[in-house]
Structure formats: C-alpha cells, structure tokens
Amino acid sequence: DTGVSQDPRHKITKRGQNVTFRCDPISEHNRLYWYRQTLGQGPEFLTYFQNEAQLEKSRLLSDRFSAERPKGSFSTLEIQRTEQGDSAMYLCASSKKTGTSGREQETQYFGPGTRLLVL
C-alpha cells in the first residue's frame, strides 16, 4: 500500500500524559498536513510542512501541540499534558509538489487517522 499511513491507529491515555503520533506520507509527496476531527465536524487544519519547513503553524490549538518533520519525510505530532478535550481523530494528509500545473499540489490525500481518547 503506497498511501498515507499513520501510527498508532488508536491511542488511549490518561489526562496529563504526553502522546506522539506518526505520519508517513506518500513517498513522492513533499507536503504534509495535520488536522483534527471531532465528532460531527469536518477536519480542522492544524499545521503543514513543505519538505522539512513548517510553513504554517498559527492554527495549532495551543502551545501543548507541536509537530516536526526533521528529514522531510515522516512527521510527528506531539500533544503534551493531554486534556480530555484533546480526544479526537488526528488526521494526516500529503500532497505532491507540482505536476504540469502548480495547482496540483493543492490536492491532499488523507491517511486513516489516529483516534485519541484521553481519560
């Protein structure tokens, strides 16, 4: 399978613990995005990378949230001191740089998500 993969698929943690999620994008894609999705809502954009550069992070929900993509391949999303309100599905997506049209990079392909439950 050459799609976007995420690990773990499910995570249960206690309030106050730190959690880290991993995303592996499609191999030729240089952009990587993180979203949060809560029940009954659409995905909420958090941040994105182009290669290893984090180009937009103003939508990260608080300073407890951070993301990295050190080598421009896989990415991690960390939530420190988790709260019950952090319970959600965390989605990763990737897109390729350009095709014949520069606009093609706007097409995102999503992974299956990591479902987080904070007790």
Partner 1 sequence: AQSVTQLDSQVPVFEEAPVELRCNYSSSVSVYLFWYVQYPNQGLQLLLKYLSGSTLVESINGFEAEFNKSQTSFHLRKPSVHISDTAEYFCAVILRGPGGSYIPTFGRGTSLIVHP
Q: What is the DSSP string of 68-99?
A: E-TTSS-EEEEE-S--GGG-EEEEEEEE-S-S
Contact assessment for residue 64 and residue 90, using Cβ atoms and an 8 Å cutoff: no
Name which of 57 and 64 has its Cβ closer to partner 1: 57
Name which of 53 and 84 has its Cβ closer to partner 1: 53
Name which of 3 and 16 has its Cβ closer to partner 1: 3
Q: How far is the CB of 14 from partner 1 (least distance, A)?
A: 26
Write the CB contacts of 40 (distance below 8 Å, at least 6 apart in sequence): none
Interface with partner 1 by CB under 8 A: which residues? 33, 35, 40-45, 48, 55-56, 59, 91, 93, 101, 103-104, 106-113
